[in-house]
Amino acid sequence: MRITTLCYITCRGKTLMLYRNKKENDENAGKWVGIGGKLEAGESPEDCLIREVREECGITLSSYKFCGIVTFVSDIWGTEYMCLYTAECESRDVADCTEGELYWIDNEKVSSLPMWEGDRIFFELMEKGEPFFSLKLVYKGDDLAEAYLNGKKYE
Q: Which helix (H) or strand (E) holds 123?
A: helix 117-127
Instruction: Convert 54-109 into a string of H (helix), E (strand) and C (coil).
Output: HHHHCCCCCCCEEEEEEEEEECCCEEEEEEEEEEECCCCCCCCCCCEEEEEEEHHH
Among the listed residues 3, 2, 10, the one whose alpha carbon sits nearest the alpha carbon of residue 126:
10
Q: What is the pTM of this model?
A: 0.93
Where residue 9 sits, what CATH number does that domain have?
3.90.79.10
pLDDT tens, residue by residue, 138-155:
999 999 999 999 999 998
Q: What residues form DSSP beta bridges with 99?
A: none
d(CA 153, CA 89): 35
pLDDT tens, residue by residue, 14-68:
999 999 887 777 677 788 999 999 999 999 999 999 999 999 999 999 899 999 9
Q: What is the number of domains present in the chain?
A: 1
Q: What is the extent of the structural domain holding 77? A: 2-153
